[in-house]
Structure 1
Amino acid sequence: MTAQSFAAPPAPYTIDFAPQVDDLHRRLDAARWPEQDVVPEDVDYGEHGAFGLGAGPGLALMKELAQDWRGQDQKQLQDHLNSYVSTTGPCFRTEPLWLTSSSLSYKNYRVEIEGLDIHFLHYPSSRADAFPLILCHGWPGGYHEFLHVLERLTEPKDQESRAFHVVVPSMPGYAFSSPPKTAKWGMEDTARVFDKLMMGLGYAKYAAQGAVHLNFCPVPPPFPLNMFNPRTLLDWMPRFVLPDERRAKLERGVAYIERGSSYYAMQNLTPRTPAYGLNDSPIGLLAWIGEKMIPGIDKAVKHPNATLNREALFTTLSIYWFTGSIGSSFLPYALNPHFGTFLVSPRHHLPNFALSNFPDELFTPEERDARRTGNLRWYKDAEDGGHFAALEKPEVFAEHVREAMGVLLSDQA
């Protein structure tokens, strides 16, 4: 299947925030703040607070973040997101791209697939032996989280290291991809569209990060432990059964369930309700997404040259705001009733997969538990990093992907 399989060839897409910047600034300047913190500062959630922010981001922090977002150079951001533009001609040809030598940098494209406009980046390697790879994002992130790993994956400094032709799509309803037109749309439909994207680009065989290689695998405990309240298990399980290190990992997961998953319930059960407010208020959007990112940012910026920083938060916010896509980004939660069971459902058993465990992730399963998801062929614990692994630890993420694919693709030689 070649590029002619698309209804029309992919078209270059230019991001243009300019018409909306003044309105964003006006709304931020006119924010209607409460006179004091909604919950008094002396509240103590201990280790069970939502994402480490207790009842949510405090008033002083919110005002500081709003001012900093107001000061973000939106023209510079727009130019950055549009910066990798080909100067050597069209990026789409009649032959499969992965068979051609290319010096093209990535560029934004959109293509119609099943009536949806799908946005994606395409970053071919200059290496003829490179293997196609699709990078799949989650929520609350987006395609932009992978910008720091593109060159690491396509043009490794070590010529002995595997190289990849990288495609990074935005999921339907995210960023510059149009949302599904039916409430019957499931993740399997998104997978089908992404497969058509890769096949249309000429990639008959390809690997997937986010599907075949995972860095988030919140598999529930096995029977009969899954029949008990998680907090009860933690409080009563003796230490010779549940060592301290494992207990600490489970504590983080239980804390998320108890105090950090309220957004999940709303995005799953009543997605329209928060969507109206978040689509209309940049302050609401800042609180909703900032709650998830700030704890990781505060830890990451203690290290030099941090790529998970406040600028990354503001980039995420700006993309959601200017595209008006926060509500449609809830659809994977709202339209997938199997969301809580697919990791251990026989129907979704993965015949081959790899898992990177980052210690500050919401859930970090033991290798034996992860194996209940499918045929686990590669497993590795990272020393640092969390939910935004590609953004926070791009060098580690890229190396894990390369190692994992070396195992998963070993039978392709």
Structure 2
Amino acid sequence: MSFTRLPETVKTTPTPFNVAVPESAILELKTLLKFAKVAPPTYESSRPDANYGVTRDWIQKAKAEWETFDWRKIEAHINAFPQYKIPITNTDGASYNIHFLALFSEKPDAVPIMMLHGWPGSFLEFLPILGILSTRYTSATLPYHIIVPSLPGYAFSDPPPLDRNFNLQDVARLLNSLMAQLGFDQYVVQGGDIGSQTARILVAEHANCKAIHMNFCYMTEPPNFDTSSLTASDNDILERRDWFLRSASAYAFEHATRPSTLSFVLSSSPLALLAWIGEKFMDWTDEDPPMTTILESVSLYWFTDTISTSFYPYRNTTPVDKNHIDLSNNPKWHITKPFGYSAFPKEILQSPRRWIETTGKLDFYREHDKGGHFAAIERPETLLKDLEDFVSQVWSGV
């Protein structure tokens, strides 16, 4: 397989990994789906505008397609890219096996870039970008080392501990150590959703994280902000933001305040999981994604049994939790290193450029007319072009 030659500076050799879901797990899923009960029709579930969540028609169609879904085809696609696991020790002495995909370059001046997913995403978000790069370049010409980890508690990475709290600063420490163990003493981080929040911590707290590019920045209005400076585009952004906070954010408060209860519900029924995750893919995208995109993500959560361990970041970042951290307006998280941002119009919690500029010196900003929350899936060429242009602009000066 190409793109597998490790850097000469690697400190810990990762173990190659392939996805191999047992046939018994696939049979169990299909059996549970076959006998899963669909709720009776209601006024809310019958509305074609889906203003009250996924419709009954949609869930019936998705259920039928999932029953015949070819997971092995998805598995083969995933395994076409190099994957690894590596043990990383946290400051508490606990060791975590971190799963990651990688395209390693043979160029001595290749720029290390770590790309971080969010919820309900996974490493799957970045497969389109990995596909573009592996087609466009060879391992001898690839200008970057691309590292795509599964966050702890997601997919094939180890879950958070049972005996203590675990937050995004823990995640950042583990991922920074991952890059160090792979031999990278400086790197760029890119992220959306929870990945952007982890990225902000990385660039603020870890010296070898030299630059950050994000496509998500949830924040409250900056103190003493002059609202008269807002443009028509800014007001469109704030209107969608208001819609989300008013009508579509209840899931986040549930994740933050009752994750244990929710985990039992979603881990016991694939149909429940499909509704919970499928709704987000439908609501948060510019255009409805193909059903395959939704089903491969829901299948990954189901087969890895990780929905229950994917909620912990919400306790850290949602204001309803008294221990949450404000990653935007707190000077502790102000970005002082090269900072790039890509704005997509259907992002759920987009912030105006003038707000984002208060969180760091914004060296690169590009606004697009298409795309939503899952930019790496929806607009992979666009996001990749922005990232490449940002790296080209700032890397020589880090």
Q: TM-score range by the shorter chain?
A: 0.7 to 0.9
Partner residue of 1:68 out of 65, 68, 71: 65
Residues 367 and 410 of structure 1, relative CA distance in 2, 3 Å threshold: farther
What residue is the counterpart of 2:214 in the other structure?
214
Match of residue 173, structure 1, among 144, 150, 153: 153
> What is the TM-score normalised by the length of structure 2?
0.83
2:4 aligns to what?
none
Q: 2:382 is matched with which residue? A: 396
Residue 350 of structure 1 corresponds to 335
**1:30 maps to 2:35:** yes
Structure 2 distance, partners of 1:177, 1:59, is: 34
C-alpha deviation, 1:405, in angstroms: 1.5
Query: Which ranges in structure 2 are unaligned for 5 or more consecutive residues?
Result: 1-7, 90-94, 192-198, 200-211
1:19 aligned residue:
24
Q: Which runs of 5+ in 1 are unaligned?
A: 44-51, 85-105, 227-236, 302-307
Give RMSD over aligned pairs. Answer: 2.6
Match status 1:59 vs 2:56: yes
- Other-structure match for 2:352: 366
1:247 shift after superposition = 2.4
Q: For residues 406 and 289 of structure 1, do their structure 2 counterparts lie closer, same or farther at Cα, with a shift above 3 Å needed?
A: same
Q: Return 34-43 or 193-202, whichever deviates more.
A: 34-43
- What do residues 258-292 of structure 1 show as CA deviations (whole Å, max 9, x unaligned)? 11101100111111111111011111101111111
1:342 Cα offset (Å): 1.0
The equivalent position to 2:275 in structure 1, one of 261, 266, 287, is 287
Give CA-to-partner distance per residue, 1:59-113, whole Å, 9 cap, x none: 111100111122210121222222x2xxxxxxxxxxxxxxxxxxxxx42211111
SS for the counterpart of 1:147 is helix
SS at match of 1:399: helix
Q: Deviations over 1:158-206 (max 9, x none)?
A: 9xx9821111100000000011115422211111111111111111111
TM-score of the pair, normalised by structure 1 = 0.80
Whether the 8 Å CA contact 1:300–1:309 is kept in 2: the answer is no
Q: CA deviation at 1:15?
A: 1.3
Equivalence for 2:241: 253
Distance of aligned partners of 1:60 and 1:368 in 2 relative to their CA distance in 1, 3 Å threshold: same
Partners of 2:214 and 2:341 within 8 A in 1: yes
Amino acid at match of 2:222: P
Tell me which structure has the larger Cα radius of gyration.
1
- Measured in 2, the distance between the counterparts of 1:193 and 1:132 equals 17
1:357 positional shift: 0.4
1:230 is aligned to: none
Pair 1:116-2:96 in alignment: yes
- Is residue 284–residue 348 contact of structure 2 (8 Å, CA) maintained in 1? no
The structure-2 alpha-carbon separation of the partners of 1:360 and 1:339, relative to structure 1 and needing over 3 Å to count, comes to farther
**Aligned pair in 2 of structure 1 residues 38, 31: CA closer, same or farther (>3 Å)?**
farther
Question: Which whole-Å deviations, capped at 9, do the CAs of 1:190-248 have from their partners, x for residues lacking one?
Answer: 1111111111111111111122100001222123579xxxxxxxxxx9xx776544322
Partner of 2:205: none
Q: 1:340 to 1:67 in 2, by over 3 A?
A: farther
Further displaced range: 178-187 or 325-334 = 178-187
State the partner residue of 1:330: 311
What are the Cα deviations for residues 299-358 of structure 1, in whole angstroms up to 9, with x where unaligned?
A: 536xxxxxx422111110010000000010101112455656211211111112111001
CA contact 2:344–2:372 (8 Å) conserved in 1: yes
Q: Is the 8 A contact 1:125 1:155 kept in 2?
A: no
Using the aligned pairs only, state the percent identity: 31
State the alpha-carbon separation in 2 of the partners of residues 74 and 40 from structure 1: 28
Identify if the C-alpha distance between structure 1 residues 285 and 393 changes in structure 2 by more than 3 Å, giving closer, same or farther: same
SS at 2:272's partner residue?
helix
Letter in 1 for 2:374: F
Matched, 1:300 2:305: no
> Which of 230, 246, 253 is residue 265 of structure 1 equivalent to?
253
Counterpart Cα distance in 2 of 1:40 and 1:396? 35
| Secondary structure, aligned partner of 2:179 | helix
Amino acid in structure 2 at the alignment position of 1:253: R
Partner SS, residue 300 of structure 1: coil
CA distance in 2 between counterparts of 1:178 and 1:157 reads 32
Q: Secondary structure at the match of 1:329?
A: coil
Flag the 1:357–1:166 CA change in 2: closer, same or farther, 3 A. Answer: same
- SS in structure 2 of the partner of residue 362 of structure 1: coil
Q: Which has the larger displacement, 179-188 or 338-347?
A: 338-347
CA distance in 2, matches of 1:135, 1:394: 13
Distance 1:339 1:384 in 2: 32
CA displacement 1:358-404 (0-9 Å, x = unmatched): 11101332222101111211111012101000111110010010111
Structure 2 CA distance, aligned partners of 1:328 and 1:250? 31
Q: Which moved more, 1:337-346 or 1:24-33?
A: 337-346
- Work out whether residues 351 and 375 of structure 1, in 8 Å CA contact, stay in contact via their aligned partners in 2: yes
CA distance in 1, matches of 2:303, 2:62: 18
**Amino acid across the alignment from 1:24:** L
Question: 1:16 and 1:121, CA in 2 relative to 1: closer, same or farther beyond 3 A?
Answer: same
Deviation of 1:117 (Å): 1.2
CA distance in 2, matches of 1:339, 1:404: 31
What is the aligned partner in structure 2 of residue 341 from structure 1? Answer: 326
Aligned letter for 2:364? W
Residues 1:196 and 2:177 aligned together: yes
Q: Matched residues in 2 for 1:42 and 1:313: separation?
A: 21
Q: Is the 8 A contact 2:45 2:56 kept in 1?
A: no
